Structure 1
Amino acid sequence: MHRLIRPFAMTALALCCSAAFAATSADSVPHGELPKWAVPVSYRLAFKVDPSQQSYSGTTTIKVDLKQASDHLWLDGRDLNVSKVTITDAGGKTHDGKYVAVAPNEGVSRIDFGSTLKPQSLTLTIDYTAPLNQQLQGLYKVSHAGVPYAMTQMEPISARYAFPGFDEPRFKTPYDISLTVPSDEVAVANTKQISETPAGDKWKTVTFEQTRPLPTYLVAFAIGPWDVVKGPDISPDAYRSDVLPLRGIAAHGEGHRMQHVLSETPSIIHTLENYYGFGYPFGKLDLLAAPDFSAGAMENPGLVTFRDWLLLLDPDSPAKYVRGSFNVTAHELAHQWTGDTVTLAWWNDIWLNEAFATWMQQKVTMKVHPEYRADLDRITGAEGAMQNDSLVSARKIRQPITGNGDIETAFDGITYQKGAAVIGMFEGYVGEDVFQKGMRAYIQAHKFGNATADDLVGAIATAAHQGDAFKHAFNSFLDQSGVPYVQTKLEQKDGKTVLHLSQSRYLPVGSTGDAKRVWGIPVCVRYGTADGSKVSCEMFDRPTGTMTLAGASNATWVMPNAYGRGYYRFSLAKSEWAELTQHVASLSDTEQLAYADGIDAGFRHGELNAADALNALKPLASAKTREVVVAPLPTVEWIYRNEASTEAQRAKVVGWVKDAYLQRMEQLGYQRKAGEPDGDSLLRSTLADVLALDFKIPEVRTALLKQGDAALAKKADGHLNLTSADPDLLGDALAVAVQERGKPAVDALIAEIPQTTDPAWRNAMLAGLSAAETPELADEARNFALTKQVKVGEMAAIVRGSHDTPAARDALWQWFTGHYDQVLARTGSFASGMLPRLVSGGSCSTAEADRLQAFFEPRLKDITGADRGLAQTREQTLLCAALKAKQDPDAILH
């Protein structure tokens, strides 16, 4: 699953105690893993669904291996109205059973047999009805252009909303799926359709091939008046003998916009097959553009589902959508091997799915679209994860599961970006070819089954001829939270240049954490020589150590994260920072990103002040590579928002920004040029957003306002003239127009959004509304977000609004606390783990931390997963306040 790192998006999830969250006996309610003495063997799922209705009916037939005598078994089911349970024993005798929802808030249910049955093969047949979910879980209802559709999102634990079953990843079985649907609608599922038969007046039954063994969370189907577009067949290769048929599925009238993604897909599949040495095993491949969706995308084998704006592309689509489409498609298709073919055994190892799909997506992108610079994406993603990983409340990659909330909140930057960075770091340590050999062995050993972290780490260690020390080093990143902090000091000794190393846990100013922690870190150092530079690497697995820098020049410089691939932060003495700054232009792009993160780390650790940081970051703004150019901005924005308090201080930061970026912005211009690299389009978009909306640079706001006014002008047909703005800048142009024109602009957008189905235009208009600055207009926009004119998956784009100033955060807080029940009613408890960050992200005072705690603490019992979101948002707020208190604002002026 690709998780969008935003509130309300699930974003396409170490055993605790002895088994999951609690040991399970035959007669106790399993508040964790289901007992292993009743195991599903296969499912037959039959559904009767009309998307125009509010509910559907289903019959689930499960063959079960009952391994011990019992008068009941446990399974999962939530919000199901079960009318009949039939139990067929091994001899073919049938009798009635009883379905009991024992823990309805968790979805845990029991089937009572009526008598004790000896171990045997049983068949359970369960007839039920259920509502079409309104919160994007299980089997849910959406609409496009006023027309209803029904589709599924089962991961992580939402299959229980759709059908009764054993809703855990370790239970992999084949499924036979049949869908009875209105005769004029299209039904698609994981596998190829094998028959279609009439089923009474205006109904038909569509039956599909049996699936490969799957866990419940990968079962997928969809019903509606879909456009079905044939893509290019994916040709056979050395690992797959049959042609792989490819199709695009989109809401009615949108199918023609899927040609771009369909044309890119064969190269992704072939690249993955070549890497794993294992052909795509699922028979057919459909890519579905969902009208509303909780994640970015979901890797259901044979039927991969996406947010519609990732697939519905035109020649003038924003560059971020075109590039994002490829990256997310590569991520989901990488899952067909890591996640679908080999599945995690329990949710503590969700990184085996998501970290590896993120890492593999980047390898695919580097091969097929090297200009997209996925190598830099991995580093920026890792550095983003480090911000969260610096919290005492941060998750481990392999986080023990103590409840459903831990499952639902496991889809975060630690699982995805930190996990991918750690994989890339150890791949660099053993070598790409060796790592590939280990991955191929891992896939072959566990294909169509389940695996654990030990299986994967063991496969890599075997391929690399590494022993327990390697496994311990790898596991040190999986089984403990935090970012290693490698502190260095140069010494000339006996004619040699020696680099002294020490490691601890990186903790920012104000943290209450314990810094004493040791990892096995593959440390690589670049250092200056008479004729350039060299790199020295070693496994650093002790609190302190040394490296001899052979051939170093007498007055050498050091870059303690050569290649930028190490998942750690580093520290230098001020004089050594100055030396490195003098040589920053000679570093690679990846190393320059690591340099920027090192400056930010030193600033947040209290070793550098604002002037130090601004001076050290300035050279990066003139770099050639987009990702490097914008790398200073998070640090500079923090200084501007939280430290600069006087007009002189704020003017100093704005002057720094103008000097660093305004000329670059003007060189790029405010319109996409024919044939320009998409990196230019992306840089234009980033700089326009930051300069106009964060730093309020007049020249940029004037240019964007001109486009915003033109976009808000009505055409002859009464619609807004949205094509008049540059497609990459439309959201920013509308945001500036909302801030400058006020209520007429807000009202125009609120009137237009319900009449617009184009997802890119909708996203741009939502961005415009979210920029409203006065409390009255911001509240008008947020009230609109609660209506059905805004999709559930779009709500947060408006609600989160502006967090830039205390006044803006206070206004959001007042609105949110007054509308809390309405927000929760639309999103459901599943998305509520994100609510503390939604309403309080960017806060920077003890008072804000305290009001957040006071509001959410008594509500935690009702909102699954919010305890972690509360702890992390509160800690981030207190750390921001501590850093603000530590820094001297007058340093900005020096």
Structure 2
Amino acid sequence: MEDKRELLPKNVRPTHYNIFLFPDLEKFTFEGCVDIDLEINDDSTEIITNVYDMTVHSVSITDVASMEKQDATNFELDATAQTLKMTFANTLKKGSKAKLTIKFTGNLNNEMNGFYRSEYTDNNGQKKYMAVTQFESVYARRSFPCWDEPAIKATFDIKIRAEPDKTTLSNMPIIKEEKITINGKEYKDVTFDTTPIMSTYLIAYIVGELEYVETMSNPTAPAEAKPIKVRVYTLKGESSQGTYSAEVTARVLEYFSEYFNIPYPLPKMDLVAIPDFEAGAMENWGLVTFRTVALLFDEKKSSVASKERVCTTVAHELAHQWFGNLVTMDWWSDLWLNEGFATFVGTLATDHLYPDWKIFTSFVVDELQSALNLDGLRSSHPVQVEVNKATEVDQIFDQISYEKGATIIRMLNSCLGEQKFMDGIRIYLKRHMYGNTVTRDLWKALSESSNIDVESLMGSWIKDVGYPVVSINNYKQGNNDMTLSLSQKRFISSGDMTPEEEAKYATWWIPLGIITHDSPSKPLDNILTEKEQTITVPYPEGNNKFIKLNFNETGMYRVKYPKEILNTIGETIKMGLEDKSKEVIGVSDRIGIIADIFALAKNGTEQTDNALDLLKYFEKETDYNVLSQIYLKVGELKSVWYNKDGKLLEALKKLSLKIFSPLAEKYGFDYSSKDSFIDSKMRTLVLRAAALNGDKKIIDELIRRLELFIKGDNDILNPNLRKLAYTVALSNTTGAQAEKFYDDIFHIYQTSEIADQRLIALQSLGAAKDSKLIKRTLDLALNTELIRLQDIMYCIVNLTVDNPNIKESRPATWKWMLDNWSTFEERYKTSGSILGAICRYSTNGLNDTKHIKEIEDWITMKGSKLDIIRRPINQILERLKTQNAWIERDNTRVQAWADKYLAN
């Protein structure tokens, strides 16, 4: 197959970089010099390397054997290709070694990638800056000339010049500090130890006024593992909030050292909270960088949701230290190898630390459904995706690379068995240490450990777009067995796949995981390998008979049942909820039943009123994760049908209150230190569901508590409840009272010292329903003095999700985006993830024909200017059209269901 990738020429290859950088945090520039040891593979007079957004002053090359030095006769930058082409008079001979020296000046930009500046205000109200890096995917080239491709690994010596009072960090420990004076001003030159062989995107360095907390990780396996010094760095005055993540880091490093059976390869692990950071975190080897909210946690002042986020983010990034850093994908087409695997084993590590969190059940609600939702679109992409240009890479850091990747790894772990899976991973990592791999290398190792042809099994899961829906078309019950006629085809959210499209899709290898009343916890090991297949399973006589596919929802597919089988599952669930001793259908399976029928309703192969009727079996549900799925599915219907006349919204509120209000009454408002993690999440969920569906008693009490909290009673409103209280107060007041709440909540955003509490205050402002306050929130989102560039989404998300005046706030947000698009294009020209999020939230729910046409016209008018977000833009449009078709198809039925439900 023709390789269309835009790669650097192979005539030379770097083996070592010696980098010197001198950042100026007043002029926002940096001076630099890099010496690069090269191996010459072909006779050459021309060398091309990656460079972007810098000025090159001089280029020379020295032959190592003869020590002959020559200056480049010419060097030219290509801003579009992001390259530097250097020409030399004398030929560099094949087989020789040379040292390339380049002097340059770069920009400490404010675009959150490359070598950039992050701004903050210190405790004395002074504006300060720190210099930080973000090189994934292709931004090392913004800091020093390099071969900026993951497969071109080298070792690195790094020296940074900085003011004496600044903390200076890099991947490796400091080995030398020298004081120097320049023009009467004192500086220090900080030299770091040589790195292992690694990819350029994992290099990192930081200069800033920081403090830290420290602990030790003491892995006991394998035998050669050594203690690792762990530090969490923060801005001054915030280090106490790093204690929790330092402890998590120490324990997770121990867990992974044992799980992978390879010691952590570096002598230290630093984690740093960065005020301005586009992603959630970045796994730079030995120097992991984070958004503040993803690293810092205060046991008394942060929410349990924040604790979970910090733990899972830290675990994910530490998984990368082995899977991604020690062994690296060869090219970005295999990004899923990094991200999908780190998501799965990060969840494993979290489950190891906190088994009571039931994190793999949450995985079914969150990661699995997120992957299924995106991959049900035609505009999705394969897990193993073609990437040809540097500018295309950032668009695949999405739910396919992360969540779908993690889901199919989880499925494989279940099929092979945990021990064989772990053994295969150990083979893979040991075999490819310090090297680069493709997906086939992982399959080969897992095949060796399991004696199963993993590549054949997994081929369609990673090479094809989408996933299957398994349908039970017919069934026949015998004396002691049941014969099922099954079929598989690609699930499409819009439900309008043509026969021609269907013929294109491969056949998936699908582990059916069948459970019955006879075997409710030990699934049968049937596998569906054909488009249509008949299987017979044991199905003896007995009470409360049922059959269900996809035990524990370990397979990435949906199931369509005949109504009779679905009803028997529902009755079995209901019986188990009424009498726990009769519970045979577990939590993950209950989540899957709900998720599948609502997805099938959306694509037209099931009726939405049937999906709603199914919820009657769950009226006594008490599991947090199942209730969370119900809340999300009912919320999705409310969001999609927001603009239609009829009684549906009223009926959905009544249905929600029937399920959630008794639980809200039971749980109450007061959190206790004795509460389990799940109990804390449960209380927050049921109070939220009751309040946002109009439970007046809950609403009044939340507003009462908020008023006392604003007056200074910090204990009256637990951190887990503050987001809800802010949202409820702004959603249920108008005029002067709403403005007062808005001012008070905005003040909390500006003054709170806890990152997650700042951001929930900011996000809540979008729930204000007054037209004046909707406009104020949209104006605020543009104000870079008040809102960090990375946080713009927090301003707008509630305007199109939880605003009670959504008929006004959604079109207003769309118009605001159109009016300010040129500003966003400039601010986020290299931040496709933020630009895509602005589009996603600004168009959320605008599923009527008029707005879809407006969005299509805008996309057409913008043309190639939207290439940086082409994938997410296509997905936004497809989702809106799917919603529009859903409403057109099912509106009459759901409104009839609503009339009937309200009459009861």
Fold match, TM over 0.5? Answer: yes
Q: What pairs with 1:374-393 in structure 2 (closer than 5 Å)?
A: 374-380=359-365, 381-393=367-379
Other-structure match for 2:880: 877
Q: Secondary structure at the match of 2:86?
A: strand
1:141 to 110, 117, 139: 117
Other-structure match for 1:227: 211
Q: Deviations over 1:400-433 (max 9, x none)?
A: 1143343111111111111111011112111111
Q: Secondary structure at the match of 1:680?
A: helix
Deviation at 1:141, TM superposition (A): 1.0
Deviation at 1:286, TM superposition (A): 0.8
Partners of 1:590 and 1:160 in 2: how far apart? 45
8 A contact 1:234–1:245 mirrored in 2: no
Q: What pairs with 1:624-773 in structure 2 (closer than 5 Å)?
A: 624-643=622-641, 645-646=644-645, 648-693=647-692, 695-713=693-711, 725-739=717-731, 740=733, 741-751=737-747, 753-773=749-769
Q: Which moved more, 1:603-612 or 1:349-358?
A: 603-612
Q: What pairs with 1:80-479 in structure 2 (closer than 5 Å)?
A: 80-90=54-64, 91-97=66-72, 100=75, 102-119=77-94, 120-145=96-121, 146-200=127-181, 201-235=185-219, 237-316=221-300, 317-380=302-365, 381-467=367-453, 470-479=454-463
8 A contact 1:525–1:537 mirrored in 2: yes
Partners of 1:199 and 1:771 in 2: how far apart? 55
1:332 and 1:98, CA in 2 relative to 1: closer, same or farther beyond 3 A?
farther
Other-structure match for 1:790: 787
8 A contact 1:835–1:866 mirrored in 2: no
Deviation at 1:163, TM superposition (A): 1.5
8 A contact 2:326–2:434 mirrored in 1: yes
Q: Secondary structure at the match of 2:189?
A: strand
Q: Deviations over 1:642-667 (max 9, x none)?
A: 34744533222111000001111222
Give, as a single letter, the amino acid of the residue that structure 1 aligns with 2:796: V
Deviation at 1:462, TM superposition (A): 1.8
Partners of 2:163 and 2:727 in 1: how far apart? 43
8 A contact 1:97–1:111 mirrored in 2: yes
Deviation at 1:233, TM superposition (A): 4.4
* Residue 63 (1) aligns with residue 29 (2): no
Partners of 2:725 and 2:73 in 1: how far apart? 60
Partners of 2:521 and 2:886 in 1: how far apart? 36
Partners of 1:366 and 1:86 in 2: how far apart? 53
Q: Which moved more, 1:434-443 or 1:704-713?
A: 704-713
8 A contact 1:507–1:515 mirrored in 2: no
1:551 and 1:577, CA in 2 relative to 1: closer, same or farther beyond 3 A?
closer
Structure 1 residue runs of 4+, over 6 Å off?
Answer: none
Other-structure match for 1:526: 514
Partners of 1:236 and 1:649 in 2: how far apart? 59
Q: What pairs with 1:510-659 in structure 2 (closer than 5 Å)?
A: 511-512=496-497, 514-516=501-503, 517-529=505-517, 535-553=523-541, 556-584=545-573, 585=576, 586-620=584-618, 622-643=620-641, 645-646=644-645, 648-659=647-658
Partners of 2:14 and 2:295 in 1: how far apart? 36
8 A contact 2:460–2:508 mirrored in 1: yes
Q: Secondary structure at the match of 2:318?
A: helix
Give, as a single letter, the amino acid of the residue that structure 2 aligns with 1:132: L
Other-structure match for 1:13: none
Q: Which moved more, 1:627-636 or 1:852-861?
A: 852-861
1:54 and 1:623, CA in 2 relative to 1: closer, same or farther beyond 3 A?
same
Q: Deviations over 1:761-783 (max 9, x none)?
A: 21122112222333432222222
Other-structure match for 2:487: 502
8 A contact 1:526–1:533 mirrored in 2: no
Deviation at 1:869, TM superposition (A): 1.3
Structure 2 unaligned residues grouped into runs of 5+ = 122-126, 577-583
Partners of 2:748 and 2:705 in 1: how far apart? 17
Other-structure match for 2:818: 817
Other-structure match for 1:890: 896
Q: Deviations over 1:311-352 (max 9, x none)?
A: 222222100111221111111111111001100000010111
1:893 and 1:391, CA in 2 relative to 1: closer, same or farther beyond 3 A?
same
Partners of 2:778 and 2:218 in 1: how far apart? 45
8 A contact 1:249–1:287 mirrored in 2: yes
Q: Which moved more, 1:436-445 or 1:638-647?
A: 638-647
Deviation at 1:689, TM superposition (A): 3.6
Q: What pairs with 1:6-85 in structure 2 (closer than 5 Å)?
A: 18-19=2-3, 21-22=4-5, 32-85=6-59
Partners of 2:276 and 2:438 in 1: how far apart? 33
8 A contact 1:486–1:502 mirrored in 2: yes
Partners of 1:49 and 1:169 in 2: how far apart? 26
Structure 1 unaligned residues grouped into runs of 5+ = 1-16, 23-31, 716-720
1:839 and 1:530, CA in 2 relative to 1: closer, same or farther beyond 3 A?
closer
- Flag the structure with more relative contact order, 1 or 2, with Cα contacts below 8 A and sequence separation at least 6: 1
Other-structure match for 1:26: none
State the percentage of identical aligned residues: 23
8 A contact 1:665–1:688 mirrored in 2: yes
Deviation at 1:77, TM superposition (A): 1.3
Deviation at 1:611, TM superposition (A): 2.8
Partners of 2:828 and 2:74 in 1: how far apart? 28
Deviation at 1:521, TM superposition (A): 2.7
Partners of 2:254 and 2:774 in 1: how far apart? 48
Deviation at 1:224, TM superposition (A): 0.7
Q: Which moved more, 1:338-347 or 1:724-733?
A: 724-733
Give, as a single letter, the amino acid of the residue that structure 2 aligns with 1:673: S
Give, as a single letter, the amino acid of the residue that structure 1 aligns with 2:392: D
8 A contact 2:150–2:329 mirrored in 1: yes
Q: Secondary structure at the match of 1:198?
A: strand
8 A contact 1:640–1:653 mirrored in 2: yes
Q: Secondary structure at the match of 2:512?
A: strand
TM-score (norm 1): 0.92
Other-structure match for 2:579: none
Deviation at 1:604, TM superposition (A): 1.5
Aligned residues: 859
Other-structure match for 1:4: none
Partners of 1:327 and 1:642 in 2: how far apart? 31
Q: Deviations over 1:197-216 (max 9, x none)?
A: 01212210111000111111
TM-score (norm 2): 0.91
Other-structure match for 2:580: none
* Residue 847 (1) aligns with residue 847 (2): no
Give, as a single letter, the amino acid of the residue that structure 1 aligns with 2:785: K
Partners of 1:255 and 1:263 in 2: how far apart? 13
1:240 and 1:258, CA in 2 relative to 1: closer, same or farther beyond 3 A?
farther
Q: Secondary structure at the match of 1:706?
A: helix
8 A contact 1:72–1:113 mirrored in 2: yes
1:846 and 1:722, CA in 2 relative to 1: closer, same or farther beyond 3 A?
farther
Other-structure match for 1:11: none
Other-structure match for 2:775: 779
Give, as a single letter, the amino acid of the residue that structure 2 aligns with 1:535: P
Q: CA RMSD in A?
A: 2.2
Partners of 1:562 and 1:397 in 2: how far apart? 24
Deviation at 1:250, TM superposition (A): 0.7
Partners of 1:856 and 1:282 in 2: how far apart? 47
Other-structure match for 1:5: none
Other-structure match for 1:6: none
1:507 and 1:883, CA in 2 relative to 1: closer, same or farther beyond 3 A?
same
